[in-house]
Amino acid sequence: MEKGIFTKNIKQEQIDAFKRNKRALTSAYIFLFLFIISLFSELIANDKPLLLKYQNDLYFPIFSDYTDKDFGGDFPTPADYKDPYIIKQIEQSGWMLMPIIPFSFNTVDYNLNVPTPSAPSQEHWLGTDDEGRDIVARIFYGFRLSIIFSFLLTVISSIIGIITGAIQGYFGGKTDLIFQRFMEIWETLPQLFIIIIIASIFTPGFWSLLIILIAFSWLNLTGMVRAEFLRTRNMEYVKAAKSMGAGNIRIMFKHILPNAVITTITFVPFLLAEGITALTALDFLGLGLPAEYPSLGDLVRQGKDNLQAPWIGISIFIVLSTLLSLLIFIGEGIRDAFDTRRNN
Amino acid sequence: MSILEVKHLSINFRKKNGDIFPAVKDISFNLEQGEILGIVGESGSGKSVTALSVLGLLPYPKAFHGPNSIIEYQGKNLLTASDAELREIRGGKIGFIFQEPMSSLNPLHRIGKQIAETIVIHQHLSLKEANRKALKLLIKVGIKNAKERMKAFPHELSGGQRQRVMIAMAIANRPDILIADEPTTALDVTIQKQIIDLLIKLQKQLNMSIIFISHDLQVIRKIADRVCVMKDGKIVEQNRVSEIFEHPQESYTKTLISSHNILNKLNKESDKNILKINNLNVWFPLKKNFWGKCLEYIKAVNGISINLSKGQTLGIVGESGSGKSTLGQSIVGLNKYSGDIFINNQNIKEITSQERASVQIVFQDPYNALNPRMNIEEIVREGLDIHHKELTKEQKYRLVTEVMQEVGLKESDLKKYPHEFSGGQRQRIAIARALILKPQLLILDEPTSALDVTIQAQVLKLLQKIQNERHLTYIFISHDMNAIKAMSDKIAVMKDGKIIELGSRDEIFNHPQQEYTQKLIAAAV
């Protein structure tokens, strides 16, 4: 309803306070840098060439699909740019430019002449996993998937949490009472078992897993928003708006929500970190995303299963701990910047 | 003989950005044995900081004193005293009473224990003996049923009783000096008077010296022997009470004193009735049985009927809890009520919200009444946004600037946020917000209680001016008899949800019928 409800409520002094916190600011830059890089994973780690020239024509295999036939092969199947025959065909009458890492997250390297998981080498910087897939490529894609998943989870569950909290806090009384009891029952449901049951009935995909996790994570913010609404609804400026004839929706959105939003913003980085942990844990247990997704949790499981190949475990440990630390540092920075008691 | 001498005291605060803010600038005064010294000044004048510095209670090292500052007590400079020495003096030789007794008492301990504790610390008595002394003190400060009250928790006491407990704690160790920082500001007038009488009595009995800090000249006049008038960290005038009030020298002192005399001329009674209230009841449920049926009520407003004719001001006076604010809020529809309220002979339950906008309200606390996340333009414009959606942006802006001018604010203030304004300015903004819908009846719910005296006078004058220009009708709610007297044509005295006396200003002030009204008037003057 209100345009820019988030940006408008962040004052310059809070941005300045955040900037003064060097650790948080550096973390924010590093995080943004890594995330933006990971958005271009397809251009960095892919088994298709970025650009190729074949018989005087330019091809962009990343953006459109070509078949073997296009490059003098026999079958109308999608071109396999790792196939020595195709490579030979192309190089005879043109050239091709491969990405820095010539493997996608699901490319199995059949040219390996060592048993999988293979140790770091020139070709595979961090080695391969036990199916012969490049770990760097899997980390790039997994990193991006984790953040996007967790971001969606945070945004959607925050919206639900704010709305439910707002309704409870604003109307109070019986509405609040019934909602609170419902939440208490909901909270006690064993989340993990429900996911196990659901996963045993059908394989969860990206969206279905997101919905299941949202179903439990919206509770995070509800209590806080509710408290904020309970506190603010008796403020004199709310009474003033009411006596002027403002409706419930107007009061909730214009007068109370902006005050509640600040407390919410403070929690967002922590919720993000929580979401990443949750997804990783589920993938580790094999209850999360199916095998065709690149996931950090899957790498953790491989690291555990292949202790003789420590490069898997060590790489994923460093990736996860860096990612979570960055988010926590950013979260601390935001929390301190919005803490009015600390600033005064 | 001087018991405390303050010489060239200056207090500075270091701000976060490195600037230095001088709160007190080179003041000197002394306190004689057995004297009550009043320090009067507006908020921000440095009077509280001065008092806190005597006990070394400032946030050092953020606060620091000038090089020549001396606070001498019994030949010792308190500013250079060690922590151990200061602890001995605090609560021992010098007692302290704060403004808000609720936050100065520990909510988790029984009051008897809290008093006994200070006795044990300073007099090294056994707990049993300290308890006996604590009981004696409670009797001395006039707590009824003192023996049972020893076991009470702070929240079980009323505001006045809590302040008595604070006084008992402060005098527990027979201090030479008692510093009272606005001890009566948070209390009702009749309770204020009791506390002041108690302090005067104790001062005589114990032969203490008292530094009494207040922004309220009337209180100072009643209690003090000598007065220091503070402004912007300086003492502008100090003299005996009679001298200050009868022959003030400085112009600031004169403004302070004249702030209390801004009697409005009486408005003519017109035959047009604007507000009619029939048998209004506002009951809040206190106790419900299992099935949700109400067993007990707080009868905040209990069977009130009022007639108010156009262009007049009805003053409603009463102590906190008398239901006067609830009455005001019911008229603008903030409470559920039974009974009938008619505006211009129309029942407000049956009129549209636009017609209802002819009644507006201004609240007490200008710090709470403005949304901190909206700028002034949005705040003032809100009424138009709700009721006059047909207006263009430019038309709305013009109306907003007009009303801002009327209340004495600048157009350049529109983009600012509430925290950039002082209390008086905020109250002007709140008035502008109420005026923009061109109301006929304005309910003023303690509009000046949170303001300094000189600002109070300005706001009251502004309200009088607006009333004359717009021919508004006011309902002026206050606990302050002086403000009521300044504003009202008719006065209703409320107690326990009922109007116990209703009459013209002269009738109420010159010939009060009820004992309670007489008490209120006696306490105020």
**CA–CA separation, B505 vs B240, rounded Å?**
33
- How many C-beta atoms surround the C-beta of residue B332 within 10 A? 25
Task: Confirm whether B160 is domain-assigned.
Answer: yes
Task: Confirm whether B310 is domain-assigned.
Answer: yes
Q: What is the pLDDT of residues B59-81, one digit of tens each?
A: 888 888 988 899 998 888 888 88
In terms of domains, do A166 and A93 share one?
A: no
Q: What is the pLDDT of residues A227-277, one digit of tens each?
A: 989 888 888 888 888 888 888 888 888 888 887 887 788 888 889 999 999
In terms of domains, do A81 and A203 share one?
A: no
In terms of domains, do A66 and A31 share one?
A: no
User: Is it the case that residue B267 has pLDDT exceeding 80?
Assistant: no
Q: What is the pLDDT of residues B107-120, one digit of tens each?
A: 889 999 999 988 89
Task: Confirm whether A89 is domain-assigned.
Answer: yes
User: Is it the case that residue B392 has pLDDT exceeding 70?
Assistant: yes
Residue with tokens 């000096």: B177
- How many C-beta atoms surround the C-beta of residue A33 within 10 A? 10
| CB pair distance less than 8 Å for A242 and B360 | no
In terms of domains, do B204 and B281 share one?
A: no
In terms of domains, do B343 and B396 share one?
A: no
Task: Confirm whether B433 is domain-assigned.
Answer: no
Q: What is the mean pLDDT of residues A275-302?
A: 88
In terms of domains, do B477 and B346 share one?
A: yes
A343: pLDDT confidence band, cut at 50, 70 and 90? very low
To the nearest whole Å, the CA of B358 is away from the closest chain A CA by 9
**pLDDT at site A9:** 55
Least confident of A42-46, A273-277, B364-368: B364-368
Q: Looking at residue B349, what DSSP letter applies?
A: T
Least confident of A69-83, B133-147, B215-229: A69-83
Pick from A156-170, B78-92, B287-301, B511-525 the range whose average pLDDT is largest.
Answer: A156-170
Task: Please report the sign of the dihedral spanned by the C-alpha atoms of residue B394, residue B395, residue B399, residue B402.
Answer: positive
In terms of domains, do B177 and B319 share one?
A: no
pTM recorded for the entire structure: 0.75
**pLDDT at site A8:** 52
Q: Contact, B225 vs B35, CB < 8 A?
A: yes
In terms of domains, do A204 and A334 share one?
A: yes
**pLDDT at site B229:** 93
Contacts of B363 in chain A (CB under 8 A): 236, 239-240
In terms of domains, do A88 and A189 share one?
A: no
Q: What is the mean pLDDT of residues A113-124?
A: 81
Report chain B's mean pLDDT, rounded to a whole number: 87
In terms of domains, do A88 and A198 share one?
A: no
Task: Confirm whether A232 is domain-assigned.
Answer: yes
Q: Give the CA radius of gyration of chain B.
A: 25
In terms of domains, do A169 and A285 share one?
A: yes
To the nearest whole Å, the CA of B430 is away from the closest chain A CA by 9
To the nearest whole Å, the CA of A304 is away from the closest chain B CA by 51
In terms of domains, do A199 and A61 share one?
A: no
Task: Confirm whether A9 is domain-assigned.
Answer: yes
**pLDDT at site A1:** 35
B226: pLDDT confidence band, cut at 50, 70 and 90? very high
Task: Confirm whether B366 is domain-assigned.
Answer: no
In terms of domains, do B481 and B422 share one?
A: no
User: Is it the case that residue B318 has pLDDT exceeding 90?
Assistant: no
In terms of domains, do B415 and B389 share one?
A: yes
| CB pair distance less than 8 Å for A243 and B368 | no
Q: Which two tokens stand for residue B485?
A: 């007297």
How many angstroms separate the Cα of B227 from the Cα of each of B235, B248, B455, B457? Answer: 10, 11, 21, 21
**Number of separate domains in chain A:** 2
In order, the DSSP letters of A246-274 are: --HHHIIIIIIHHHHHHHHHHHHHHHHHH
**pLDDT at site A154:** 93
Q: Helix or strand or coil: residue A93?
A: coil
**CA–CA separation, B435 vs A116, rounded Å?**
80
Residue ranges making up the domain that contains B390: 372-427
In terms of domains, do A278 and A229 share one?
A: yes
- Write out residues 214-273 of A within 8 Å (CB-CB) of B: 235-237, 239-247, 250, 254-255, 258-259
Q: What is the pLDDT of residues B395-422, one digit of tens each?
A: 999 999 999 999 989 888 888 888 888 8
Q: What is the mean pLDDT of residues B90-117?
A: 85
**pLDDT at site B190:** 82
Task: Confirm whether A259 is domain-assigned.
Answer: yes
Comparison of pLDDT for A54 and B488, the residue scoring more: B488
Q: Contact, B363 vs A240, CB < 8 A?
A: yes
Q: What is the pLDDT of residues B180-190, one digit of tens each?
A: 988 887 788 88
| CB pair distance less than 8 Å for A245 and B365 | no
**Is the peptide bond between A117 and the residue preceding it cis, with omega within 30 degrees of 0?**
yes
Task: Confirm whether B327 is domain-assigned.
Answer: yes
Task: Confirm whether A116 is domain-assigned.
Answer: no
> Is the ipTM value over 0.95, yes or no?
no
**CA–CA separation, B91 vs A120, rounded Å?**
73
Residue B312's Cβ-count burial label (10 Å; 0-12, 13-18, 19+) is buried
In terms of domains, do A24 and A60 share one?
A: no
**pLDDT at site A2:** 39
Task: Confirm whether B268 is domain-assigned.
Answer: no
**CA–CA separation, A76 vs A61, rounded Å?**
15
The reply to whether B437 touches chain A by the CB within 8 Å rule is yes
CATH code of the domain in which B310 resides: 3.40.50.300
**Number of separate domains in chain B:** 3
**pLDDT at site B92:** 83
Q: What is the mean pLDDT of residues A125-130?
A: 84
In terms of domains, do B442 and B423 share one?
A: no
- A-to-B residue pairs, Cβ atoms closer than 8 angstroms: 59
Q: Spell out where B126-223 has E strands.
A: 177-181, 209-214
Task: Confirm whether B102 is domain-assigned.
Answer: yes
**pLDDT at site A3:** 39
Residue ranges making up the domain that contains A67: 47-98
User: Is it the case that residue A69 has pLDDT exceeding 80?
Assistant: no
In terms of domains, do B81 and B123 share one?
A: yes
CATH code of the domain in which A17 resides: 1.10.3720.10
User: Is it the case that residue B366 has pLDDT exceeding 80?
Assistant: no
The reply to whether B360 touches chain A by the CB within 8 Å rule is yes
Task: Confirm whether A108 is domain-assigned.
Answer: no
**pLDDT at site A84:** 79
**pLDDT at site B395:** 92
| CB pair distance less than 8 Å for A259 and B372 | yes
Q: Contact, A334 vs A24, CB < 8 A?
A: yes
Q: Contact, B154 vs B102, CB < 8 A?
A: yes
Q: What is the pLDDT of residues A160-218, one digit of tens each?
A: 999 999 999 998 888 999 999 999 999 898 888 888 888 788 778 889 889 988 998 88
The reply to whether A182 touches chain B by the CB within 8 Å rule is no
B320 sits in which H/E element: none
In terms of domains, do B74 and B191 share one?
A: yes
Q: Contact, B280 vs B304, CB < 8 A?
A: yes
Q: What is the pLDDT of residues B503-524, one digit of tens each?
A: 988 889 889 999 999 988 888 7
| CB pair distance less than 8 Å for B373 and A258 | yes
A341: pLDDT confidence band, cut at 50, 70 and 90? low
In terms of domains, do B218 and B307 share one?
A: no
Residue at which a domain ends, from B381, B408, B427: B427
The reply to whether B124 touches chain A by the CB within 8 Å rule is no
For chain B, what is the total number of helices (H) and then of strands (E)?
A: 20, 21
In terms of domains, do B84 and B190 share one?
A: yes
Residue B280's Cβ-count burial label (10 Å; 0-12, 13-18, 19+) is buried
In terms of domains, do A94 and A213 share one?
A: no
Task: Confirm whether A202 is domain-assigned.
Answer: yes
In terms of domains, do A296 and A197 share one?
A: yes
| CB pair distance less than 8 Å for A243 and B372 | no
Task: Confirm whether B314 is domain-assigned.
Answer: yes
